[in-house]
Amino acid sequence: MLNASFFVLFFVVFAFVDDDDFAPRRGANEEEHEEEKEVVVKRLLVLMMFFCFTKVPPWWCAPRSIVFSLVDSTTTKRVALGENESNRSTVISDASRIKVNGERTVTRAPHKHAQNAKMGGPLPKSKTSQCSCVPFGGRKQEGVSFEGVILSNAQFECTIYAFGAHVASWRSLSDLEVFKTKPEFLFVSKKAILDGTKPIRGGIPICFPQFGKLGECTNQHGFARNATWAFVGSEVDEEKVLAKATFTLSSTEKTMKEFPYKFKLNYTVSIEKEFLNTKLEVINEDEKAFEFTTALHTYFGAKSITDIAVKGLNGVRYTDSLEDGKKCVEGEEEIRFDKEVDRIYRRNVALVDKERLEIIDRVWEDKGVLSQHTRGVAMTTKNLNDAVVWNPWIDKAKSMGDFGDEEYKEMVCVEAAAIDEPVKVKPGASWIGEQTLEAVINLAHFSV
């Protein structure tokens, strides 16, 4: 009878306990799995000893005990992952392994988070996680009164404010000298107003539903950069070295006074390895078609305006806003800056697909050395075929209250835009414009 009991017990163990139950799982490390395995085995040993001194049929108890053990273990894991019925839900796929700095480590991929409109605390992040999306409240010590999100993927970090869905920072976390000298790629004025009373001077403002004064909106560049957007979700993927956040803005009675249509905007910002991607989706929720102009008004930081160059626009026709809209054709391989520049370049689709824009900055150089190191940003776009190049120079810099008199030396705007041909969207349809920035290092050779 005893031998038969042991036979039935071991049959049930191997039938109900699979190897996968002890494999690495979501949100737990290998030591935790070993401890979990020991707990289950100890329970089985206690159960067998119990059968040796009792007459209780083992086939009656064993399945239930094993099931209770596994259910208890699974429940513990779910609690550790923070799964609950609150307004923040977490969906995490099976664990995978990648090498980080030559060491094999457990990672999670991908993580998706649905976030309510109000910013909460940090979203779940494992001890070995390299990527994260962390919401924050107002930073009074920094003079910032509104909320935002910080994306990080171990290589780069990006700060986005809910006000204007405004990308305010994209900085390198690398130890490379060319990045350590000046880790920040974007420019934000030291005099920028950060209390929500006016658009932020710098970073990446969103121009919608008009660029400049090309529309009926009272404010230049429309109202999207003046509005508070809702943070609606995030995603983290360790395998892709990706962190992503999505914001949304919908039409209101106030917006319809200036733009009399119902719409919804979705804006997704992601950092993946050395790339920063910003994607704007415009959805027409009205019964009538509408059209708009738009731009991602990116301010790039520079060590010195005299050392920065913009490439990729040679041969492209442009309108010179400083010459009463004079039509011109760019004749320089590199655009350099020694005066105020305000131009709208009109690239055709073939050129956009063929050639990327490059913003090159000389970071440092040594006298007597036949080379100088540079770093820069390569820009590619989708459905944003126009490019605006702008630097205010001396007089205009002094005329702007939220811009330092000497800060024109530290920045240049190169803006991905749709201006020349306004975008038309039919009822129920949508349009997507996208900009991808890539951090690059160049080594150019010069004579002494």
Per-residue pLDDT tens over the stretch 437-448: 999 986 443 332
Judged by average pLDDT, the poorest of 8-22, 103-117, 298-312 is: 103-117
Tell whether 11 and 151 lie within a shared domain. Answer: no
Which residues have a catalytic role annotated? 297, 415
Which tokens sit at 188?
Answer: 């934000």
Residue 173 and residue 77 share a domain: no
What's the pLDDT tens digit per position in 355-380? 899 999 876 555 544 455 678 999 99
Last residue of a domain, one of 63, 81, 99: 81
Using one digit for the tens of pLDDT, what is the confidence trace for 178-219? 788 789 999 999 999 988 899 999 999 999 999 998 888 888
Q: Is the pLDDT of residue 238 over 70?
A: yes
Domain identity same for 293 and 166 = yes
> Taking 80 as the threshold, does the pLDDT of residue 12 lie above it?
no
Residue 408 lies in a domain: yes
Task: Please tell me whether residues 71 and 118 are part of one structural domain.
Answer: no
Tokens of 372: 């100088």
Check whether residue 176 and residue 274 sit in a common domain. Answer: yes
Whether 207 and 251 map to the same domain: the answer is yes
Higher pLDDT, 9 or 422: 422
On whether both 73 and 124 belong to a single domain, the answer is no
68 lies in the same domain as 174: no
Mean per-residue pLDDT of the chain: 77
Q: Is residue 100 part of a domain?
A: no
Please say if the pLDDT value at position 54 is more than 70: no
Residue 294 makes CB contacts below 8 A (sequence gap 6+) with: 206, 207, 208, 209, 210, 211, 280, 282, 384, 417, 418, 423, 433
Q: Which domain holds residue 334?
A: 107-445
48-54 contact pairs (CB < 8 A, 24+): 48/6, 48/9, 51/2, 51/5, 51/6, 51/9, 52/2
> Which range (21-30, 158-167, 295-304, 358-367) has the least confidence?
21-30
Asked if residue 87 belongs to a domain, the reply is no
Q: Are 20 and 116 found together in one domain?
A: no
Number of domains in the chain: 2
Residue 225 counted as domain residue? yes
| pLDDT at residue 258 is higher than 90 | yes
CATH number, residue 400: 2.70.98.10
89 located within any domain? no
What are the structure tokens assigned to 118, written together? Answer: 């109000």
When pLDDT is cut at 50, 70 and 90, the band that residue 177 belongs to is confident
The pLDDT of residue 67 is 41
Same domain, 198 and 69: no
Question: pLDDT by residue (tens digit) across 386-427?
Answer: 999 999 999 999 999 999 999 999 999 999 999 999 999 999
Residue 80 has pLDDT above 70, yes or no: no
| Same-domain check for residues 50 and 122 | no
Amino acid 57: pLDDT: 53
Domain-terminating residue out of 18, 46, 81 = 81
In a domain, 129, yes or no: yes
Specify if 335 maps to a domain. yes
Same domain? 275 vs 200: yes
- Average pLDDT rounded to a whole number, residues 229-240: 94
Q: What percent of the chain is modeled with pLDDT above 70?
A: 65
Residue 98 located in a structural domain? no
Average pLDDT of 37-62?
Answer: 55
Contact present, 276 and 436 (Cβ < 8 Å): yes
At 142, is the pLDDT very low, low, confident or very high (cuts 50, 70, 90)? low
pLDDT band at 226 (very low <50, low <70, confident <90, very high): very high
- Evaluate whether 283 touches 437 at the Cβ level (below 8 Å): no
